[in-house]
Amino acid sequence: MDIEKILEYQKLDFVLYKANKDFANSEENKRAQMYRKLRNDLAESLIRLDKEAGENFNDIDKAITSYENFVKKLKATNLSAPKTIEQADKNEETINALISELNAIQKDIQKCFARLQEIDTKDAKEVKQKIGKVLSELKNAEIIRNDKRNEIISSISQEGAALNKMQSELAPEDLKIYNKVKSSVNRMPYIVEYRDGNCLGCGIEIKSEVDAKLQKSGDTAECPHCRRIVYKK
């Protein structure tokens, strides 16, 4: 591995890496992310309300079926003129039971309609109003975020161009190793010095594992702890 060249490449890459981090942590980016989350949460609320409305319609269907069954039962009920006090009491009992059954069905239907009306005129309306506000805030936030992004990209344009140029100059094998470490290690640097038996990336002593591979200047090995590439100066 051409250590000098790959370190030069890493230095350029670090500028881009830092710029990426700066952008991710910028107020402009965070603000846009916050509005995106708000928009998604509100959209979910609308879906929930829609689902609830669907359930209410189902309950109304059920109540209508109950009412139809009630009518059938009513037709089949025989309330002949009472001849005794016991019969009169029994008739009254039957009528009371029918009335309370009808009341319960009516109550169910009324409850569903009231909730449907509330969803339509209050809850969904409120959520839609909020969505309207959030969307317009989000639009502004996205424009500001994009400006910030462009500003950062143009501030690193020299390094970006130099990095691209170096990609064709580096030995393909070296670049491949670099990119492999880059994809598996979260934090830069990826290529670090091996000094006094330690990996300078994670700081852990790795002498017993890698010392045999790192005998002369320019030798490389993989740190068994952090998976960075260590090199001997």
Residue 115, burial from CB neighbour count under 10 angstroms (0-12, 13-18, 19+): middle
SS3 85: helix
201 binds Zn ion per the rule CB under 5 A? yes
Beta strand 198-199 with 229-231 is unpaired
- Residue 45 or 198: which CB sits closer to Zn ion? 198
Give whichever of 189 and 201 is closer to Zn ion, judged by the CB atom.
201
- With respect to Zn ion, which residue has the nearer C-beta, 124 or 185? 185
Binding of Zn ion at residue 225 (CB under 5 A)?
yes
Tell me if residue 71 falls in helix, strand or coil. helix
- 229 lies in the binding site for Zn ion (CB under 5 A): no
Q: Identify the residue whose tokens are 């039962």.
A: 73
By C-beta, is 42 or 199 nearer to Zn ion? 199
Minimum distance, C-beta of residue 228 to Zn ion, in the bound complex (Å): 5
199 in contact with Zn ion (CB under 5 A): yes
Under 8 Å between Cβ of 227 and 184: yes
To Zn ion, the closest distance from the beta carbon of 202 in angstroms equals 3
**Contact between 3 and 187 (Cβ < 8 Å):** no
226 belongs to the binding site for Zn ion (CB under 5 A): yes
The residue type of 8 is E
Minimal distance, residue 174 CB to Zn ion, in Å: 19
| 202 touches Zn ion (CB under 5 A) | yes
Number of residues that bind Zn ion (CB under 5 A): 6
Decide whether 157 or 208 has the Cβ nearer to Zn ion: 208
Sign, Cα dihedral of 42, 126, 30, 139: positive
> Minimum distance between the CB of residue 229 and Zn ion, rounded to whole angstroms?
9
Q: Does 223 bind Zn ion (CB under 5 A)?
A: yes
Token representation of residue 227: 């998976």
Rounded to an integer, what distance in angstroms lies between the CA atom of residue 29 and that of residue 135? Answer: 16
List of residues contacting Zn ion (CB under 5 A):
199, 201-202, 223, 225-226
